[in-house]
Amino acid sequence: MSRSLTSPWGVWGSSPHKRRARTAGGHWGGPPSGAPSLSHVHRSAAWRHVVEIGISHLPVSPSRALRLARIADATGIARFGVADSSHLFGAMYPTVQLILSRTSRIKVGPFVTNPVTRHPSVHAADVAALAELYSPDRIAVAMGTGDSAVHSVGLRPAKAEDVGRALGTIRAVAPAGVTLELAASGPKAASAASAEGVDGLVLGGGMSVPWTRRLIEAAGPRPLSAHVFLIGHLVEREDEVKRARAAVRASVLAVARHAIGVDMAGRDVPPRLRPGLEQAFARYDFAAHAKADGANERLLDDHPEEEAYLFERFAAVGTPGAVAERLREFQRESGIDGAVLSTTVPDPDAHVALTGERLTTALRP
């Protein structure tokens, strides 16, 4: 019998989710060539305990993004995602091309983009060009309805079905091997992953086992990969954890607001925590989105229990060994394939190096 993920807010799961088979395009790193494929129910004994790890970065500086991508490329990280919120953080596709041109192995691409600030036909042309210039199996595109990218310029997020159609537009021109993923925080968005051409899900609901299972089931019976996005901050020692948590408070709040701010009652949030979270989310400032020293960093000052809950659900902060243990248990309980960790930390070089050199090693079977 599998263990349950427990926390001060209750039991988050009690039995493993039945695994989906993974499409060739949906798996970033993949088992070694010739390894057995996944069945609908479980992985092969040799591969089922691998937790794939990716990195997501805000491209404020293309040269800094390249430096981090090279660290990731030289270690065990499977994917380097480039965030797409141009008004706030810089140009995504030029950064993706720069990284592809200076690395040799790692998958690279938008994480997460949207069909609002760029027309789907523009995405399709860019992805097709990158696939021609580099190897198609090094391109991975994650697309959602839009959050800071659209709100910061006065636009509205897309509908879930529009995201599915946009990925279909890209699939129509992208060669085989390009990975296309749909980012979802709720069942309605996840259901759009049933569109033809979608290889996998990027889940924004955090480490809630019931909610993650619900999102995976909402995507339908077609085989898909599933990776959860988390705010990450890896450190060498336990005595560094408190400072590490303080450095990513704004980022954790940003992810949580997008994931559970719309309908906390239906998204596995304990009732007693909802009023405090509603107050914090209502004061959220998109101009300071995910900035450690911005206005959002102090919104949880008067809500310590709510803050602890958000870190437990939406963050992976700690030593590589401690984070690996949490991720392995969450995989067993929820059925995910892996996780993508952010890099919004004071020393991203050290964080990415710890992720690639020690976390990925700790997660090997």
Smallest CA-to-CA distance from 109 within 19, 36, 200, 3 is with 200
Residue 34 lies in a domain: no
| The predicted structure's pLDDT at residue 27 | 54
Task: Go through 251-265 and write b for each residue having 16 or more CB atoms within 10 A of its CB, e for each that does not.
Answer: bbbbbbbbbbbeebe
Residue 100 lies in a domain: yes
Residue 298 amino acid letter: R
Structural contact between residues 20 and 199, judged by C-beta atoms closer than 8 angstroms: no
Structural contact between residues 201 and 181, judged by C-beta atoms closer than 8 angstroms: yes
| The predicted structure's pLDDT at residue 118 | 86
Residue 5 lies in a domain: no
| The predicted structure's pLDDT at residue 40 | 31
* Token pair of 178 as six digits: 């390009």
Task: Go through 162-181 and write b for each residue having 16 or more CB atoms within 10 A of its CB, e for each that does not.
Answer: bbbebbbbbbeebeeebbbb
Peptide bond into 112 cis (omega under 30): yes
Residue 20 lies in a domain: no
Smallest CA-to-CA distance from 163 within 140, 137, 184, 139 is with 184
The rounded distance, in Å, linking the Cα atoms of 285 and 34 is 49
Total domains in the fold of the chain: 1
What is the CATH number for 87?
Answer: 3.20.20.30
| The predicted structure's pLDDT at residue 29 | 53
| The predicted structure's pLDDT at residue 215 | 96
| The predicted structure's pLDDT at residue 232 | 98
CA-CA-CA-CA dihedral for 151, 152, 154, 157, to nearest 10: -20
Secondary structure class of 42 (helix, strand, coil): coil
* Token pair of 257 as six digits: 């607001």
Domain, as residue range, for 213: 48-241+316-362
| The predicted structure's pLDDT at residue 14 | 29
* Token pair of 349 as six digits: 């070089």
The rounded distance, in Å, linking the Cα atoms of 298 and 296 is 6
Residue 283 lies in a domain: no
Residue 37 lies in a domain: no
Residue 294 lies in a domain: no
Distance of CA 333 to the CA centre of its chain: 18
Residue 157 lies in a domain: yes
| The predicted structure's pLDDT at residue 141 | 98
Give residue-wise pLDDT tens across range 59-114. 999 999 999 999 999 999 999 999 987 667 779 999 999 999 999 999 999 999 99
| The predicted structure's pLDDT at residue 45 | 37
Q: Mean pLDDT per 10-residue run, the chain (365 residues)? A: 36 32 47 33 44 95 97 97 80 96 98 91 98 98 79 77 96 97 94 92 97 96 95 98 96 92 88 95 76 75 96 98 98 97 96 98 91
| The predicted structure's pLDDT at residue 89 | 72
